Amino acid sequence: MFKFLPGLILLQLITAGLVILAFRWLENIEIVITLASFALIVCILIAFWFAAIARDMQKGQLSRMKALHARDREKILLNAERDKASIATESYEKISKETRRIHSKANFKVGAAFTAAATVGGLMLLTQFITVGLMLMVGSGSGLAGYLMRIRQERLALGKQPVIDISRQLEPPQKSVHKRFPKRSK
């Protein structure tokens, strides 16, 4: 508000001077009309001056508000990205935990089935059904070996599987230099 003070003081000084001059030459109407037109011109110029000051103040406030809103928007977007990344890691961990639980149940069932087949094969060997017993034992042993190899390969693949990278998700995407030909991911 102190930006308007010099203009107000100048306006009051000019008005006081014009009033004093008008009282001195009150009988000469041409000078009074000249002083009145001069006062009108001064008022119009000071009004433009005040309008320019007000416009400048408004632009300053507008730019400050835009900067404040931009900071708030960035905070909101960053928090949203963090929440999204944490939800993604939580869901990834939950899914992997559930998958391990289901695999362990399935592994137990398959192991029990192969053990039962091997037991039946051993029982058949004892009861003189040698050919059938050997076939059951070889079949269950080879099936168990194949299943164990698959489990081992899955564990190795899970060990090499990358965990979700949160820091990569929080960075803004890279923009391509060429607008017509965007970068291709390999």
What domain range includes position 108? 97-164
Q: What is the pTM of this model?
A: 0.41
Q: Please list the alpha-helical segments (H only) found in the chain.
A: 5-24, 29-126, 130-160, 166-170
The average pLDDT across 65-72 equals 92
Per the structure, the count of domains in the chain is 2
Q: Look at residue 4 and tell me if it is in a domain.
A: yes
Q: Look at residue 102 and tell me if it is in a domain.
A: yes
Q: What are the tens digits of pLDDT across the range 106-154?
A: 878 877 877 887 787 777 777 777 777 777 778 877 887 887 888 788 8
Q: Look at residue 169 and tell me if it is in a domain.
A: no
Q: Look at residue 78 and tell me if it is in a domain.
A: no
Tokens of 53: 């000051």
Q: Look at residue 41 and tell me if it is in a domain.
A: yes
Q: Which among 132, 110, 107 has a CA at the least distance from the CA of 122?
A: 132
Q: Look at residue 42 and tell me if it is in a domain.
A: yes
Tokens of 8: 């107000």
